[in-house]
Amino acid sequence: MSREDLPYRPCAGFMLVNAAGHVFVGQRIDPTAHGYWQMPQGGIDPGEDLRAAALRELHEEIGVGPDKVELIAGPSRPLRYDLPDELVGKVWKGKYRGQEQYWFLGRFLGENADIDLEAHDPPEFNAWRWVEPALLPELIIPFKRATYEEVLQEFRDFI
């Protein structure tokens, strides 16, 4: 099956910002993305509401429940990226060519102690930090940079 025959994996992402306007990023444990940082994101279950999926991923990956988040904005459109050739057929059991992502923005209402990287088994991240939004494209794995630039553009006025 060629790349063009493969669908995009539906995905929900969450840009979590703190009171200072910094964005949460976690350092990936996944060996294909080791050393890179990203915002919480993950697959959307069949029939799952986009907002519910984004909040579920936030809770699963970093232990932050909806009671610790003020939702600010949702997606105006899906954003897509393609996997590089060397990963097509290897990640997500070879079923997808990339992801179609729906991003949400929310303000973190909790304390740093509320963030729990062990909430997901196995954990997705081995470290986390708050960063200036402008640094996001530099931290993400290169094939996702354009998507992160679009997310920043989409939410710039709300951060």
Going from the N-terminus, what domains does the chain have, and what CATH number goes with each?
A: 3-155 (3.90.79.10)
The kind and range of the H/E element at 70 are strand 69-73
Residue-by-residue pLDDT tens, the chain, 159 positions = 677 789 899 999 999 999 999 999 999 887 766 689 999 999 999 999 999 999 999 999 999 999 999 999 999 999 999 998 888 877 787 889 999 999 999 999 999 999 999 998 899 999 999 999 999 999 999 999 999 999 999 999 998
Q: How many CB atoms lie within 10 A of CB 8?
A: 16
* Token digits of residue 130: 């708050």
Residue 123 and residue 24 in contact, taking contact as beta carbons nearer than 8 Å: no
Q: How many CB atoms lie within 10 A of CB 96?
A: 21
* Backbone φ/ψ region at 88: left (φ over 0), alpha (ψ -120 to 50), beta: beta
The kind and range of the H/E element at 41 are strand 41-43
Give the contacts of 75 (CB within 8 A, at least 6 positions apart). Answer: 50, 102, 103, 104, 154
Looking at the chain, how many residues does it have? 159
Task: Give the single-character DSSP code of 25.
Answer: E
